[in-house]
């Protein structure tokens, strides 16, 4: 059994102890660490931080920059916030994490992943494919495993916790993994999920238009 | 092919936790004064162990140094002030008529030497096409330059790009026109009634800190503007280029005046005649450098026309051509082939303003007038057009994306297939001499390219468009759209861009140039190109922004005296940008030369405010590298095979042995070393 799966079992045992009330409650709030592991199960780098409050997700990357992402699957938004510059912008494809760690329907998770990809402005050239895999009850009794294939990409695997309706492990095609660990069920401060009102939004469209007036831009029509 | 796939869901998970890989490269350590410099061990012909070539955008010699008086003892310069075309305050001088411009009656075919009886001089009261704002920014922008002050900080926070620093922070917020685009530029004194000739870009509402309207600078237009004919030849101007159709061509090449009302699609109008007054604090940093070091006033853009072809010539001494991607010339799609023949019923509207010509075929549109002219010149320069080769005459993106992704269908995407033409990088590699091309915002462009590949749009769109689309989806790296793909001659080359190891070793960002200077790991040969915000291009940038880029590099060098002592910094431009110039032009082949551009040479062996007159162009920079590091000419057809000029005593700007190009060694006095700051 790999380190990852041992950790996953431990996570789920803890979850099972506390999930009962949660599963029956409309409240859906928890936090966790996003831990990166290599194919052998060893931890790679520092952990990112995840906060979930119902339809909102906040991810604080591992780089210590203070920057963070807020997604809202009801509003269909994913924002990248840079406190040092007091600005925010559409996250777009700035981070794959915002496209992986989203609230999902246990029975049809591809719908939410595809929606997150659309929010990220990833061109959809075909439907996502999610195939439920028979659970390995010995190693992972409380997660539903899916084989996931985004258009034109290799097959990944994801384990979804049925109590959280949330992915707790993502395994890329090369065997590396992103795992939620130290999951703590409980209310999250609302301020974590709000962009301060004084922050301004950055939109690169004007920058692109200015550059079109230079020789840097050699797209058609040619000038 | 290795492509970095930052956003690929199938890639390693560990990579996606790190968001500030670029930020980690931004900090610089203090100078440890240790000599880690591997370039010192390489034998050179001169004490110069490093060359840095900084390339701005679109400024000519008279446009920049037209009103400049050399500071060196007994130094002279050829410019519109010395010729009496203007006075020191920029007003028309006693010989203003030497610069007068003409219109030409409609002709049945494309021409580069207009028939004398078809030419009409513009009157002196505003008949010459007048300056136009064209695409000049009307107001400060939220995310486009010039930025509102608040948003400058936001833009600065996008990434560790060295674009935003103490030198640029203020001037990136200034210079908008407050005028509508494509309208008379009333900031220019007397706009609307300007006399027939050059006009000063200076007044209460305009200076070198203002964005101004661009002027088209394309191959066939540039030849036509130069108005070259042996019938015009004189002793002082033996090639007979009169340079007197600049506003006319701009006003007519895209004007459909066969209908009423006429349809104008280009608004360059008279912008080509604008100039700055260096004696009145315009382009003041460049002037200071000229005062303290050396200026060449007979240095030329190597290619008639624009950015891509001139940078290509700078990197190869040759022109690029359309191929099958494996080195074999093939015919491009008809939509790529140029045809400057005037549309029937119009004065001069080009039939197809496209980018490629087979100049080996006399019957191809536009070819015969140029080749006939070359054959009529007394020194009979060869066109240097290989059979069945369609040469890249105007801006066309490389077949490689900045991350090395190879466009699968370049023809469909208006991109030129990967090039087999040998570059100076290949020659340096052969001799294991270190080199790098440092392109502003390159790292962001790689990130956007990765996005485009992941999104699948890299295979279907032109790379400029694809990076723009990617920037909308990835604002964090949006400055990548300002990286200049066509400015990097090595991005065209299969040998460099198609090899992941070569890319990693040699294609870098401005931030890496500064870091290499700081760490004493500067390559022997460095090319530095600012991004589109700082490159000095009219309309999208300003001269003072390019000066800020230059100063940033010079400041870094100044902090490392040992490195500075064995480094020469050449500062030049890709081309004159369509700006009129009064200087002599030596046609070398079908592709050029074109008008003069400044060349500043900064080293401890080129001081004193001297002005060198030896004929040179971009390829002279290759010749300098080749001589200093003992390399052979790149190929048997590249321009670096040309001899050094033997300049005439009675006319110091015209070589006796045309065609000829300087290797620039006579800009230096290696027996006389002066250690002085770059700037006072």
User: What does the alpha-carbon distance between residue B1 and residue B403 come to, in Å, rounded to a whole number?
Assistant: 10
Over range B429-447, report the average pLDDT. 97
Interface of B with A in 385-414 (CB under 8 A): 394-397, 414
Give B117-135 pLDDT, tens digit per residue. Answer: 999 999 988 899 999 999 9
Q: Do B16 and A174 touch (CB under 8 A)?
A: no
Specify if B508 maps to a domain: no
Question: Is the minimum CB–CB distance between B540 and chain A shorter than 8 Å?
Answer: yes
Question: What is the per-residue pLDDT for A93?
Answer: 72
Q: How confident is the model at residue A123 (pLDDT cuts 50, 70, 90)?
A: low
Alpha carbon distance B342, B253 (integer Å): 8
Angle subtended by helix axes B442-455 and B463-473, to nearest 10 = 90
CB contact under 8 A, A93 and B574: no
Cis amide linkage into residue B335, ω under 30° from 0: no
Across the interface, whether the CB atoms of A208 and B472 are under 8 A apart is answered: yes
Confidence of residue B618 (pLDDT cuts 50, 70, 90): very high
Q: Domain for residue A83, yes or no? A: yes
3-state helix, strand, coil in chain B (%, to 5): 30, 15, 60
Q: Residues of B with CB below 8 A from A65's CB?
A: 19-20, 23
Give chain A's mean pLDDT: 80
Residue B122 is part of which domain span? 57-139+176-292+574-588
Average pLDDT over residues B242-255: 98
Whole-angstrom distance, CA of residue A22 vs CA of residue A143: 16
DSSP chain A: --HHHHHHHHHHHHHHHHHHHHHTSS--EEEEEEEEE-TTS-B-SPPEEEEEETTEEEEE-TTSSS-EEEEETTTTEEEEEEGGGTEEEE-TTS-THHHHS----TT-HHHHHHHHHHHTT----S--EEEEE---TTT-TT-EEEEEE-TTS--EEEEEETTTTEEEEEE-TTS-EEEEEEEEES---GGGG---TT-EEE-THHHHHHHTTSTT--PSSP-
Grade residue A220 by pLDDT with cuts at 50, 70 and 90: low
Helix (H) or strand (E) holding B220: helix B219-226
So what's the pLDDT on residue A120?
81
Q: Using the beta-carbon criterion (under 8 Å), do B473 and A45 form an inter-chain contact? A: no
Is it the case that residue A4 has pLDDT exceeding 50? no
Consecutive H or E run containing B154? helix B149-156
Q: What is the mean pLDDT of residues B495-505?
A: 98
Q: Which pLDDT score is estimated for B447?
A: 95
Q: Is the pLDDT of residue B518 over 90?
A: yes
pLDDT classification of B24: cutoffs 50, 70, 90: very low
How many domains in chain A?
1
Contacts of A204 in chain B (CB under 8 A): 143, 471-472, 475, 478, 481
Closest-approach residue (CA) in chain B for A99: B9
Q: How distant is the Cα of B167 from the closest Cα of chain A, in angstroms?
A: 19
B18 versus B84: which is more confidently predicted?
A: B84
Token code pair at residue B565: 């002592």
Phi, psi of A50 (to 5 degrees): -120, 135
Place of tokens 């997700």: A57
Q: What token pair was written down for B647? A: 């300049």
pLDDT of residue A222: 41
Q: Are A167 and A144 in contact (CB under 8 A)?
A: no
Q: Average of pLDDT values for B26-34? A: 34
Q: Nearest Cβ partner of B214 from A92, A174, A213?
A: A213
Inter-chain touch A86–B154, beta carbons under 8 Å: yes
- pLDDT in the model for residue B160: 59
The domain tally of chain B equals 1
Do the Cβ atoms of B334 and B328 come closer than 8 Å? no
Q: What is the mean pLDDT of residues A45-58?
A: 94
Residue A43 inside a domain? The answer is yes
C-alpha span between B105 and B214 (Å, rounded):
25
Rounded to an integer, the average pLDDT of B510-523 is: 96
- Compute the average pLDDT of residues B197-217: 97
Q: Quick one: pLDDT band at residue A135, thresholds 50, 70, 90?
A: low
| Per-residue model confidence as pLDDT tens digits over B399-424 | 999 999 999 999 889 899 999 999 99
C-beta atoms of A223 and B308 within 8 A: no
CB contact under 8 A, B17 and A46: yes
Q: Among B29-33, B243-247, B657-661, whose mean pLDDT is lowest?
A: B29-33
Query: CA of A27, closest CA in chain B: separation in Å?
Result: 28
Q: What's the pLDDT at A91?
A: 85
A104 pLDDT more than 80: yes
Instruction: Look at strands B294-296 and B610-612 and give their pairing.
Output: parallel
d(CA B225, CA B232): 14
The pLDDT of residue B17 is above 50: no
Q: What is residue B455's predicted lDDT score, i.e. its pLDDT?
A: 82
Share of chain B above pLDDT 70, in %: 93
Q: What is the ipTM of this complex?
A: 0.83
> How many residues make up chain A in this entry?
223
Q: Calculate ∠ Cα B623-B585-B127, nearest 5°.
A: 140
Q: What is the mean pLDDT of residues A59-73?
A: 89
pLDDT digit string, tens, across residues B542-576 = 999 999 999 999 999 999 999 999 999 999 999 99
Q: For position A197, which CATH number holds?
A: 2.50.20
pLDDT of residue A82: 84
A118 occurs within a structural domain:
yes
Interface test with B, best of A214, A220, A223 (most B CBs within 10 A): A214
Is B485 a residue whose pLDDT tops 60?
yes
Closest CA to B314 of B514, B78, B524, B56: B56
- Mean pLDDT across the stretch B53-71? 98
CA-CA distance, B90 to B92, in Å (whole number)? Answer: 7
Q: What is the C-alpha to C-alpha distance for residues A185 and A24, in angstroms, rounded to an integer?
A: 13
- Calculate the CA A172 to chain-centre distance: 14
Q: Residue A33: CB partners within 8 Å, gap ≥ 6?
A: A47, A48, A49, A50, A180, A181, A182
Under the banding of pLDDT at 50, 70 and 90, the label for residue A107 is confident
Residues with Cβ < 8 Å from B161, sequence gap 6 or more? Answer: B440, B441, B444, B479, B510, B511, B531
pLDDT in tens, B298-330: 999 999 999 999 999 999 999 999 999 999 999
What is the DSSP secondary structure assignment for residue B589, as one 8-state letter? B
Domain that holds residue A36: 3-17+29-202
Residue A217 counted as domain residue: no
Residue B205, domain member (yes or no): yes
Task: Give the separation between CA B586 and CA B620, rounded to whole angstroms.
Answer: 14
Give the Cα separation of B490 and B492 in Å (integer). Answer: 5
**Residue whose entry in the numeric block shows the structure tokens 């990579």:** B15
Q: Note whether residue B365 is domain-resident.
A: no
Contact B476 A89 (CB under 8 A): yes
pLDDT in tens, A149-166: 887 778 889 999 988 999
CA A63-A67-A70 angle, 5° bins: 120
The answer, yes or no, to whether residue A97 has pLDDT greater than 60, is yes
Looking at the domain assignment, is residue A218 inside a domain? no
| Mean pLDDT for the stretch of residues B499-507 | 98
Asked whether residue A110 is domain-assigned, the answer is yes
For residue A112, the distance in angstroms to the closest alpha carbon of chain B comes to: 15
Position B590 pLDDT exceeds 90 = yes
Q: What is the mean pLDDT of chain B?
A: 92
Partners of B462 on chain A (C-beta within 8 Å) are 218-220
């Amino acid at each position: 059994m790999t380190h990852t799966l041992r950790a996953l079992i431990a996570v789920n045992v803890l979850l099972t102890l506390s999930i009962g009330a949660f599963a029956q409650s409309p409240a859906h709030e928890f936090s966790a660490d996003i831990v990166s592991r290599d194919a052998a199960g060893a931890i790679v780098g520092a952990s990112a931080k995840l906060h979930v409050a119902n339809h909102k997700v906040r991810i604080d990357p591992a780089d210590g920059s203070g920057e963070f992402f807020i997604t809202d699957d009801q509003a269909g938004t994913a924002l990248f916030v840079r406190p040092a510059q007091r600005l925010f912008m559409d996250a777009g494809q700035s981070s794959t994490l915002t496209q992986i760690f989203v609230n999902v329907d246990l029975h049809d998770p591809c719908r939410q992943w595809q929606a997150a990809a659309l929010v990220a402005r990833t061109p959809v050239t075909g439907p996502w494919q999610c195939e439920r895999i028979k659970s390995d009850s010995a190693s992972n009794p409380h997660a539903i495993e899916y084989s996931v294939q985004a258009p034109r990409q290799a097959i990944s695997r994801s384990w979804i916790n049925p109590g959280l309706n949330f992915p707790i492990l993502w395994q890329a095609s090369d065997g590396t993994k992103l795992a939620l660990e130290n999951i703590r069920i409980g209310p999250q401060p609302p301020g974590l999920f709000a962009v301060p009102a004084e922050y301004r939004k950055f939109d690169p469209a004007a920058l692109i238009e200015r550059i079109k007036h230079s020789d840097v831009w050699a797209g058609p029509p040619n000038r | 092919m290795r492509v970095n796939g930052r956003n690929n869901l199938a890639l390693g998970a560990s990579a996606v936790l790190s968001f500030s890989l670029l930020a980690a490269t931004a900090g610089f350590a203090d100078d440890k004064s240790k000599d880690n410099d591997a370039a010192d061990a390489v034998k050179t012909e001169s004490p110069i162990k490093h060359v840095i070539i900084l390339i701005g955008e679109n400024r000519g010699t008279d446009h920049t140094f037209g009103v400049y008086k050399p500071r060196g003892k007994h130094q002279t310069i050829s410019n519109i002030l010395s010729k009496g075309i203007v006075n020191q305050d920029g007003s028309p001088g006693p010989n203003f008529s030497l610069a007068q411009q003409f219109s030409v009656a409609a002709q049945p075919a494309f021409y580069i030497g207009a028939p004398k009886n078809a030419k009409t001089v513009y009157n002196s009261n505003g008949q010459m096409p007048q300056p136009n704002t064209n695409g000049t920014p009307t107001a400060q922008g939220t995310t486009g330059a010039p930025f509102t002050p608040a948003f400058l900080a936001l833009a600065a926070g996008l990434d560790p790009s060295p674009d935003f620093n103490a030198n640029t922070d203020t001037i990136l917020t200034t210079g908008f026109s407050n005028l509508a685009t494509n309208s008379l530029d009333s900031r220019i004194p007397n706009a609307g009634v300007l006399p027939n000739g050059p006009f000063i870009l200076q007044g209460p509402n305009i200076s070198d800190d203002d964005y101004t309207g661009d002027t088209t600078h394309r191959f066939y237009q540039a030849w036509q503007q130069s108005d070259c004919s042996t019938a015009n030849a004189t002793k002082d101007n033996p090639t007979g280029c009169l340079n007197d159709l600049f506003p006319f061509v701009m006003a007519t090449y895209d004007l459909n005046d066969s209908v009423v009302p006429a349809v104008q699609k280009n608004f360059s109008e008279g912008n080509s005649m604008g100039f700055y007054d260096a004696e009145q604090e315009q382009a003041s940093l460049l002037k200071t450098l000229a005062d303290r070091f050396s200026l060449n006033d007979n240095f030329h853009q190597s290619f008639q026309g624009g950015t891509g072809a001139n940078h290509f010539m700078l990197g190869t001494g040759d022109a690029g051509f359309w191929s099958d991607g494996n080195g074999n010339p093939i015919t491009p799609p008809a939509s790529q082939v140029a045809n400057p023949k005037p549309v029937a019923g119009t004065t001069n509207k080009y039939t197809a303003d496209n980018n490629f010509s087979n100049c080996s075929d006399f019957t191809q549109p536009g070819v015969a007038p140029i080749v006939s002219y070359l054959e009529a010149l007394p020194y009979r320069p060869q066109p240097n057009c290989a059979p069945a080769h369609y040469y890249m005459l105007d801006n066309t993106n490389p077949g490689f994306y900045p991350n090395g992704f190879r466009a699968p269908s370049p023809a469909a995407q208006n991109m030129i297939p990967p090039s087999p033409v040998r570059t100076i990088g290949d020659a340096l590699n052969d001799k294991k001499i270190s080199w790098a091309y440092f392109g502003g915002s390159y790292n962001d462009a790689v990130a956007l390219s990765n996005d485009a590949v992941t999104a699948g749009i890299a295979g279907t769109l032109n790379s400029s468009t694809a990076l723009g689309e990617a920037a909308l989806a990835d604002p964090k790296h949006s400055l990548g759209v300002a990286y200049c793909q066509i400015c990097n001659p090595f991005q065209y080359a299969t040998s460099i861009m198609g090899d992941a190891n070569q890319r990693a070793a040699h294609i870098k960002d401005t931030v890496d140039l500064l870091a290499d200077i700081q760490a004493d790991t500067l390559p022997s040969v460095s090319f530095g190109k600012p991004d589109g915000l700082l490159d000095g291009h009219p309309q999208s940038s300003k001269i003072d922004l390019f000066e800020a880029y230059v100063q940033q590099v010079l400041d870094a060098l100044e902090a490392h005296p040992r490195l500075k002592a064995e480094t020469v910094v050449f500062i030049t431009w890709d081309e004159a940008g369509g700006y009129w110039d009064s200087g002599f032009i030596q046609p070398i082949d079908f592709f050029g030369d074109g008008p003069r551009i400044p060349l500043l040479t900064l080293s401890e062996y080129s001081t004193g405010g001297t002005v060198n007159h030896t004929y040179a162009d971009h390829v002279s920079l290759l010749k300098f590298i080749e001589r200093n590091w003992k390399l052979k000419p790149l190929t048997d057809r590249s321009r670096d095979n040309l001899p050094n000029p033997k300049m005439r005593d009675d006319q110091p700007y015209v070589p006796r042995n045309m065609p000829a190009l300087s290797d620039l060694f006579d800009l230096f006095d290696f027996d006389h070393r002066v250690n002085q700051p770059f700037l006072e």
